[in-house]
Amino acid sequence: MLSHSFDRLSRRSLLLGSSSCLLAAKPGAVRVGCQTNAWPVDPKNLENLLGVLAKIKELGFDGFETGFANLQSHFERPDNAYDRLKKTGLRFFGIHVFLTRYDPQTGIAGWELLQQVANGGKALGAERLIVSGASTIHPLALRAKADALNKIAKHCKSIRLGFAYHNHDVEFRNGGVQIDGLLRQTDPGVHFVLDAGHAMEAGANVAEFFSKNWQRIDGIHLRDARAGQEVSLGQGEYDYAPLAKQIQASSWRGWLVSEEERRNGEKPGDAAAGPAREAIRRVFGV
């Protein structure tokens, strides 16, 4: 339960940049991860990725998420890479399939690639496959996308791998018609990685969305912006205090994931991920 003193805090003190810890998370309930996208990663050089993971560990994160291309070359012979990843001491939250172009029939990556990444990610110790997709405005396109998500989720279940869909801003635009449609039309085995920053950019009430759907949310991507420009978490305008309050009120046992990538291609690395970790401590208490 939240304390009476918390209730009396002004809204201003609840902003992400507050200097004090706002919430005390339930012990062991929430984990904190970091995407590797904040750093330049050479997909042909495992040592490069391991160096990034060492920085993530040093900054105090519990786990990591990475793009499939960074590990694709190890899918057929995973043993050495699996051992090296395991020795980092970090949990492998998810392997992410994000493309610049998707299958026009389904709005996500093609079946063969998804199956390959699911099997390869599982062999490397990933806890779940994460999939991004294209905008599907037409109801028939949305239905096709939902069917494709159901299909790959069933495959992941058959190999004991988690599965989650990752949104961008488009799914939350126009009143969230796309994200609501995906929630209705997908099976319970389709979970979600809620990109809170993208959702806020689209004008969504992220705390309300979480409160209604937290049982299907595996993780939450946290990002920040100021005047439309991406900045390190805690240095922008996004107010995550309402979301933190909803997490505290729930029995959620998911992941908060720092996503310090930039649309302009910049790779801020430690300079962004370090402040992001401190901001998560201040607001979410973990």
Instruction: Name the band, by pLDDT with cuts 50, 70 and 90, for residue 264.
Output: confident
Query: 57-81, pLDDT tens digit by residue?
Result: 999 999 999 999 999 999 999 999 9
Enumerate residues 6+ apart whose C-beta is below 8 A from 151: 111
pLDDT at 156 over 90: yes
pLDDT at 231 over 60: yes
DSSP state of 132: E
Instruction: Name the band, by pLDDT with cuts 50, 70 and 90, for residue 261.
Output: confident
Predicted local distance difference test score (pLDDT) of residue 48: 98
Taking the model in full, what pTM does it have? Answer: 0.90
Average pLDDT over residues 255-278: 92
**What are the sequence ranges of the domains in the chain?**
4-284
pLDDT at 99 over 90: yes
Give the CATH class of 4-284: alpha beta
Q: What is the Cα 218 distance to its own chain's centre? A: 8
Average pLDDT over residues 169-183: 97
Residue 50 and residue 33: Cα distance in Å, rounded? 15
- String of b and e for 5-39 (b: at least 16 CB within 10 Å)? eeeeeeeeebbbbbeeebbebeeeebbbbbbbbbb
Residue 7 and residue 52: Cα distance in Å, rounded? 40
Average pLDDT value over all residues in the chain: 91
Instruction: Name the band, by pLDDT with cuts 50, 70 and 90, for residue 228.
Output: confident
pLDDT at 176 over 70: yes
- String of b and e for 187-204 (b: at least 16 CB within 10 Å)? eeebbbbbbbbbbbbbeb
Instruction: Name the band, by pLDDT with cuts 50, 70 and 90, for residue 26.
Output: low
pLDDT at 18 over 90: no
